[in-house]
Structure 1
Amino acid sequence: MPFQTSGLHHVTAIGGDPQRNADFYLRTLGLRLVKTTVNFDDPGTYHLYYGDESGKPGTLLTFFPWRDAPSGRIGTGQATTTSFSVPEHSLGWWKQHLEISGVEVSQVTSRDDEETLTFRDPDGLQLALVAHPQGDPRDPWDTPLVPGEHAIRGLHSVTLSVSREDATAGMLTEGLGLSFSSQDSNRFRFSAGEGGPGAMVDVLVTPDAPKGLVAAGTVHHVAWRAPDEATQAAWREELTGRGVGVTSIMDRQYFRSIYFREPGGTLLEIATDQPGFSIDEPLLELGRALKLPPWLEPNREQIQAALPALDLPAENNPVTTR
């Protein structure tokens, strides 16, 4: 395989009410809203990007939140769990914090020398916090509600649920350049490069599970990193040459994207690391204002009128009292 991703770029999910979504990810999980924009393919809904201070690739969970979206069904052909990386020995703090916030959480479990805490967001999206024994050097977004010593460092991994693993494994290794790293019963882990937080995917084989339905509370797609546009374009040619149905290169303003499905059904994306989220607003002001791409700017008034108002922290650094 001539091309190898360095890890996860972002995960995009479907949400329900946008205000409830923002409250949970900003105030409960302590992430930063690094971009408030719209779904470029359906500008009647927001596209909200949550991540670290600057929205670096590998820290991002993004949402298309529709207030009246029906609930999805978690099952095969989907990314069924999105996991964040947190420091070792912080899961006790997180369990207490989430419970105080009214979130139902699991007991802490251990697998592959990692400790994990699982829960769901208000729309039912399956999430996990994972403490990796070797730590995570990425800097957190430090907020009053979630201090830096416990804060999320970025994405840890995603779990793909499939009815059989062989074809999906082939796409991960031959299409994305990942390598098989471990197996725990019906769970197979693949890693980019040296692995570690932000560079892993688990393939969970559940042949008797129902097929998933993408709607509120489910993942829409999983994006993997490409260093630049030239690599992405060559990668696209490589995939199409292998018979994979790949979209044209799409301008997402903050990165360029191509999309395709792995054989198990999950929609995947290859996204460029550049140009990033500070191309249209300063770092200190990320997420404060609605940003539109040039081709939608002439319709700003109409688009804004159709979007529900969002009450966001003035400095995107939430301060509340318990």
Structure 2
Amino acid sequence: MQLKGIHHVSAITANAKENYHFYTEILGMRLVKKTVNQDDTSMYHLFYADEAGNPGTDLTFFEIKNAGNTYPGISSISGTSLRVPNDKALSYWVDRFNQYHVEHEGISNQGERNVIHFYDHEKQRLTLISDEHNNGVPGGRPWSQSSASVEHGIIGLGPSKLTIKDPTPTVKVLTEILTFTQVGSYPSTVKGQEDILIFSTGEGGTGAEIHVEVRDDLARERPGRGSVHHVAFRVTNEAELFKWKARLTEARIPNSGLVDRYYFQSLYFREPNGILFELATDGPGFATDEDINHLGESLALPPFLEDQREEIEAKLVPLDTIGNK
């Protein structure tokens, strides 16, 4: 068994309408599923991805209307990367961010790659990372109707960054349980802090990495809007997911057991520093209940929630995504 890379990242927003505007109109990603949080159907769950909603390209958001500010700290997923095709694309995005008044830090180096660190309207900590020299997991395909340049468009998720105080137990889970190996490091931008460690799985590359930042100068993060809820890793199918459950149980790591999310099967657990990990299957996918040409236009509910549709819709503020442009 070996994980194939990042499957999706799920974060928190306080306003679905503003979130939809930023990620579709400014970043040019496609809303591939407008549904609800299956554990709390009073809130939207929005999925942004490449044109087909391929695994490894999904950045998702739970709408928690009363979410307060995030106070960054340890025991957190402190950074989410989005892949672009090459270094030239980064120059395009600097110009676009300036045009739309998006807060960013310009083009810089992160190890051997060029990146742009930037923030959405709720201070979500984001990075565009160049695939110029990527030889690992291939990226997806930008949406052909994107409001941004298709040539320079976002092609998937890059590395997630974990910020922790004690790396030893987290690294043990990554390497001894989850099949990651350390493949490098790069300097921290914070004076006096250790280098950030790079861990890779599967085919490797930008779509299959976790970066571990050790900080001894921060308190525990207080999450809110603009924070990340969990990161999910790719598993081939349900049969393999059962094997992962057995591995976690044998290692005495408490876990959720298999959870049917309809669009994929999931398994959740927390690593020793309290960060929530998910293992998720590559399929069935988002075209299971919607035509590929009309993904995200209507409120999609899995079959086990369909009989509650009227009650669920009554609790949601309507979000117009018809045309999804």
Per-residue displacement from partner, 1:271-290 (whole Å, max 9, x unpaired)?
A: 01111111111111110110
Letter of the 1:51 counterpart: A
Structure 2 counterpart of 1:197, from 198, 203, 206? 206
| Amino acid corresponding to residue 124 of structure 1 in structure 2 | K
More deviation in 227-236 or 302-311? 302-311
Residue type at the aligned position of 1:126: R
What is the distance in 2 between the residues matched to 1:303 and 1:124?
A: 29
Q: How far did 1:172 drift?
A: 0.8
Structure 2 CA distance for aligned equivalents of residues 251 and 192 of structure 1: 25
Match of 2:13 in 1: 15
- What is the correspondence of 1:74-223 to structure 2 with a 5 Å cutoff? 74-88=72-86, 89-135=88-134, 137-185=139-187, 186-223=195-232
| TM-score normalised per structure 1 | 0.94
Asked if 1:299 corresponds to 2:297, the answer is: no
Q: CA deviation at 1:68?
A: 2.5
Q: TM-score, normalised by structure 2?
A: 0.93
Aligned to 2:52: 54
Deviations 1:24-68 (A, max 9, x none): 001111100110100000000000000011211100000001232
Higher deviation after alignment, 192-201 or 274-283: 192-201
The 1-side partners of 2:208 and 2:139 are apart by 13
User: Structure 1: how far apart are the matches of 2:139 and 2:22?
Assistant: 25
Question: CA offsets, 1:146-202, max 9 Å, x none?
Answer: 121110010011000010211111111112101110022420000112311211110
Q: In the alignment, is the contact (CA less than 8 A) between 1:163 and 1:207 conserved in 2?
A: yes
Query: 23-32 or 85-94: which moved more?
Result: 85-94
Shift of 1:294: 2.0
* Contact 1:12/1:63 (8 A) holds in 2: yes
2: distance between equivalents of 1:138 and 1:293?
Answer: 25
Percent identity for Structure 1 against Structure 2: 39
SS at match of 2:293: helix
Aligned length: 314
Query: Structure 2: any 5+ residue segments left out of the alignment?
Result: 188-194
Aligned-pair CA distance for 1:249: 0.8
CA distance in 2, matches of 1:11, 1:259: 13
| Equivalent position amino acid for 1:50 in 2 | Y
Q: CA deviation at 1:137?
A: 4.9
User: In structure 2, which of residues 260, 274, 277 is the aligned counterpart of residue 265 of structure 1?
Assistant: 274
CA contact (8 A) 1:113 1:132 kept: no
User: Which runs of no fewer than 5 residues in structure 1 stay unpaired?
Assistant: none
Contact kept in structure 2, 1:30 and 1:142, CA below 8 Å: no
Alignment of 1:264-283 (within 5 A): 264-283=273-292
Supply the distance in 1 between the matched residues of 2:145 and 2:229 (Cα, whole angstroms): 28
| Cross-structure match for 2:318 | 309
Question: Which amino acid is 1:95 matched to?
Answer: V
Kept after mapping to 2: 8 A contact 1:17/1:68: no
Query: Counterpart of 2:284 in structure 1: which amino acid?
Result: P
CA distance in 2, matches of 1:67, 1:97: 29
Query: Counterparts of 1:258 and 1:144 in 2: how far apart (Å)?
Result: 32
Instruction: Determine helix, strand or coil for the equivalent of 1:253.
Output: coil
C-alpha deviation, 1:309, in angstroms: 1.3
| Partner Cα distance (2:159, 2:201) in 1 | 11
